[in-house]
Amino acid sequence: MRINRIQHDITVLADELEVPGIGHLPVNAFVLHAAEPVVVDTGLSLPDRGFMAALSSIVDPADVEWIWLTHPDRDHTGSLFDLLDAAPNARLITTFAGLGIMSCARPVPIDRVYLLNPGQTLDVGDRCLTAFRPPLFDNPSTVGFYDERSETCFTSDCFGAPMPSAELATADDVGYAPPAEIRAAQQLWAAVDSPWVHVVDENKYLATVSAVRAFDPGQILSTHLPPARERVSQYWDMLAEAPHAAPFASPDQAALEQMLASFEP
């Protein structure tokens, strides 16, 4: 795990996961150093990822006031309950659906939950966070947010892109990769993570893109993309093109056996 302090009030806890045939998928969590500190997602649900140690090196967990869970998929909830234990005053931000999904695996302390829906806002002391549903998502409880003070959109899975190397996946800026490669990788991820984009009513979909674009953010922070602080307009264009990108052809058993054979000595 790599710690990237990308500006005075935002730190990225950057991890990655190699997906055979796809690339190295960034898996980011974030700390928003607001007056009431906010941790956004809690890393992979895999052993020995070092999330709590990395987090503790940049903020005392006891000082964390909010845990914003963009949605309860396993690549976002790895250290959730460890953090709840270490941050006794923190409230867990999720939706009613998100609470229900999490409760299927482990009871969630209801008195620690703060239900927040798209369109609602949250005051964290020195700034206001506006919740929204990202245009692309793979979980119905997904909620990102816009931070008006840092002019940053936290977009969960939306804008994600598998990268060609672990180094690029955990870089402090996506600008290190060529724009054309990022566009192709984002379209691939859109097809993998949100396959419904190929069959949805395009006008309704584009309205969701316009609604988030209206924030006019200075940077985009996605769980599955290195920080994007330049060429932001190009990422909105990518979203508009997503319904017309090639659908993802998922490997079948024959492809799996071929991949496994390539690892045999």
Which pLDDT tens digit goes with each residue over 203-258?
999 999 999 999 999 999 999 999 999 889 899 999 999 999 999 999 899 988 98
Token digits of residue 129: 């966070």
Output the pLDDT for position 231.
86
Domain count along the chain = 1
Q: Which two tokens stand for residue 162?
A: 């598998």
The region of weakest confidence among 145-154, 243-252, 255-264 is: 255-264
Does the pLDDT at position 265 exceed 70?
no
How far apart CA 259 and CA 171 sit, in angstroms, is: 28
**Distance between CA atoms of 88 and 234, rounded to whole angstroms?**
41
Going by C-alpha positions, the residue among 240, 242, 251 that lies closest to residue 191 is 242
Report, as an integer, the average pLDDT of 12-36. Answer: 96
Q: What is the mean pLDDT of residues 118-124?
A: 98
Mean pLDDT of the chain: 96
Contact indicator for 90, 109 with CB cutoff of 8 Å? no
* The pLDDT value given to residue 262: 80
What is the rounded distance in angstroms from the CA atom of residue 25 to the CA atom of residue 19? 7
CA distances from residue 128 to 123, 200, 223 in whole angstroms, order as listed: 5, 32, 21
As a whole number of angstroms, the distance between CA 195 and CA 210 comes to 20
Q: Which domain holds residue 129?
A: 2-262
Tell me the per-residue pLDDT of 164-211, one tens digit each, with 9 for 90 and over.
Answer: 999 999 999 999 999 999 999 999 999 999 999 999 999 999 999 999
The pair of three-digit structure tokens given for residue 35, joined into one six-digit string: 């007056």
For residues 34 and 53, is the Cβ–Cβ distance under 8 A? Answer: no
Q: What is the reported pLDDT for 263?
A: 75
Q: 70 or 20: whose pLDDT is higher?
A: 70
Which pLDDT score, from 0 to 100, does residue 79 have?
97
pLDDT in tens, 77-94: 999 999 999 999 999 999
CATH number at 218 reads 3.60.15.10
Task: Decide if pLDDT at 39 tops 70.
Answer: yes
Q: From the centroid of its chain, how far is CA 170?
A: 13
Task: Please tell me the predicted confidence (pLDDT) of residue 21.
Answer: 81
Identify the pLDDT of residue 218. 96
Give the side-chain half-sphere CA count within 13 A for 229: 9
Identify residue 16 by its one-letter amino acid code. E
Question: What's this model's pTM, rounded to 2 decimal places?
Answer: 0.95
